């Protein structure tokens, strides 16, 4: 349920070339299209609306050792690339496909006649600079341990690393089932912000984001109505999460809506705005001119998330932030 960490050494020549050719310079989706099904294409297009797809792949390996590891990979897992005893960058997994023809097209074959057919796609690639010695310390390996090949860390080691660097994808969403979400909501104590608590919190957020955004890279703020990449949108609770009963949290289709980080989420959270009769209403608070301009631009907008199922949550928020002018 939590994000796994994948280690991807890039010491050899093939890997160094692939890193530049298909990750740093993402692959045009039109090059991929002839090799994949329509469903796979649609899925990729949702993930990469600009059509540029950072692509990686591994060979099956001796006795399928790599493909067995690849099978464990899921969206929102983190891949670290390493060379010269440094983990020098990381990115988040978005999707994977097994496709030898595409791999051959992108990378040809290695000297043993294998191709990198166990393909996975990445996003949010970022430079980092983690000495392998620090990595070893965090996950509990001995000081001189050197990662030799494609590796998927177990849950405990993954949690240690993800927790240490506070890694969280802004766009890739890990698959969380209804049952897993229920288990989190019923067991999760927000006070327990240890590594396990953080991991559950991420999973809960991931589930809610998946509910709102599906695989789409773009979404629309429920308050101001503007469209943004989903990394600028929160899955915001209409009724404050800490006041929700378990039953209300489980009403996940109605308890959240997208709110943008450019102001709407904070304004709603702090009670500067409420939704009344389906419209954005501005409360009487201390404001400044720029704030007033922002509020004027959204006042009276119709909120499309206001309906008979969500009504009671908006009412709670309005009462919670009740001020004299309502």
User: Counting contacts by CB under 5 A, is residue 295 touching Zn ion?
Assistant: no
Q: Are 151 and 177 in contact (CB under 8 A)?
A: no
The Cα 122–Cα 231 span in angstroms is 15
CB of 220 to Zn ion, least distance (A): 9
Outline where 108-227 has alpha helix (H).
132-139, 155-165, 178-187, 195-213
CB of 267 to Zn ion, least distance (A): 9
CA end-to-end span of the chain: 44
| Closer by beta carbon to Zn ion, 140 or else 229 | 229
| Closer by beta carbon to Zn ion, 160 or else 264 | 264
Q: Are 67 and 133 in contact (CB under 8 A)?
A: no
Assigned token pair, 1: 């349920």
| Closer by beta carbon to Zn ion, 224 or else 275 | 224
User: Counting contacts by CB under 5 A, is residue 223 touching Zn ion?
Assistant: yes
User: Counting contacts by CB under 5 A, is residue 132 touching Zn ion?
Assistant: no
Select the span of 73-81, 91-99, 138-146, 220-228 touching Zn ion (CB under 5 A).
220-228
CB of 225 to Zn ion, least distance (A): 7
Element (H, E) at 95: strand 86-98
User: Counting contacts by CB under 5 A, is residue 230 touching Zn ion?
Assistant: no
**Judged by CB under 5 A, which of 103, 106, 221, 275 binds Zn ion?**
221
Whole-angstrom CA distances from 35 to 21, 122, 215, 259 are: 18, 18, 21, 37
x/- letters, 157..176, toward Zn ion (CB under 5 A): --------------------
**Judged by CB under 5 A, which of 44, 147, 184, 260 binds Zn ion?**
260
**Judged by CB under 5 A, which of 224, 244, 267, 275 binds Zn ion?**
224
Q: Are 56 and 107 in contact (CB under 8 A)?
A: no
The sign of the torsion formed by the CA atoms of 130, 135, 137, 143 equals negative
| Closer by beta carbon to Zn ion, 23 or else 264 | 264
Residues that bind Zn ion in the complex, under the rule CB under 5 A: 221, 223-224, 260, 264
């Amino acid at each position: 349920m939590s994000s796994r960490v994948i280690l991807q050494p890039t010491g050899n020549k093939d890997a160094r070339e692939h890193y530049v050719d298909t990750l740093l310079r993402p692959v045009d989706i039109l090059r991929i299209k002839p090799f994949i099904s329509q469903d796979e294409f649609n899925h990729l297009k949702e993930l990469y609306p600009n059509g540029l797809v950072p692509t990686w792949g591994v060979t099956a390996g001796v006795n399928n050792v790599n493909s067995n590891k690849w099978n464990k990979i899921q969206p929102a897992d983190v891949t670290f690339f390493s060379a010269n005893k440094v983990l020098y960058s990381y990115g988040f997994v978005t999707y994977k496909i097994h496709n030898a023809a595409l791999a051959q097209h992108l990378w040809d074959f290695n000297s043993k006649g294998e191709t990198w057919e166990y393909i996975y796609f990445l996003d949010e690639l970022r430079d980092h600079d983690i000495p392998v010695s620090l990595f070893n310390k965090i996950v509990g390996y001995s000081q001189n341990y050197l990662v030799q090949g494609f590796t998927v860390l177990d849950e405990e080691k993954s949690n240690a690393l993800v927790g240490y660097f506070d890694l969280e994808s802004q766009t890739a969403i890990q698959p969380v089932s209804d049952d897993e979400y229920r288990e989190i909501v019923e067991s999760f104590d927000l006070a327990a912000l240890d590594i396990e608590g953080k991991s559950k919190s991420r999973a809960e957020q991931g589930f809610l984001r998946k509910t709102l955004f599906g695989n789409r890279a773009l979404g629309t703020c429920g308050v101001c109505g503007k469209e943004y990449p989903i990394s600028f949108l929160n899955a915001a609770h209409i009724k404050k999460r800490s006041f929700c009963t378990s039953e209300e949290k489980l009403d996940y289709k109605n308890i959240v809506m997208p709110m943008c980080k450019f102001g709407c989420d904070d304004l709603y959270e702090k009670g500067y705005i409420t939704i009344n009769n389906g419209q954005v209403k501005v409360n009487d608070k201390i404001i400044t001119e720029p704030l007033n301009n922002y509020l004027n631009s959204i006042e009276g907008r119709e909120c499309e998330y206001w309906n008979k199922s969500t009504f009671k949550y908006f009412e709670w928020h309005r009462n919670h932030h009740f001020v004299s002018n309502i």
